[in-house]
Copies of this chain bind each other. A is one copy, B any other.
Amino acid sequence: MCEANAYLRNGDKEELILEAVDKVRPFDDGLLLEDIYGRRKFIRAKIKELALVDHKIILERE
């Protein structure tokens, strides 16, 4: 499976927000994350970087 884990970067720290993320949809006020089990989480952040081979989605507060 090629899901990734979503982390919120804050300075030099990265907080794990959601594991096994399949879908990400940006909205005006944040991101809707959905994992491979269909669980959803909305977070007021934007995408800072994707590193898919490392299975990482890096987010940051807007």
B-binding residues in A (CB < 8 A)? 1-4, 21-26, 36, 46-53, 55, 57
Determine whether the beta carbon of B46 is less than 8 Å from that of A2: no
| Copies of this chain held together in the complex | 2
Task: Given the known inter-chain contacts A2-B2, A2-B4, please indicate yes or no for A26 contacting B46, CB distance below 8 A.
Answer: yes
Q: Among B22, B49, B50, B53, which residue has its beta carbon within 8 angstroms of that of A1?
A: B53
Given A36-B53, A53-B36, A26 and B48 contact (CB-CB distance below 8 Å): yes
**Is the CB–CB distance between A24 and B4 below 8 Å?**
no
- Report A7 CB to chain B, min CB distance, Å: 15
Contact B22 A49 (CB under 8 A): no
> Which B residues are in CB contact (< 8 Å) with A46?
26
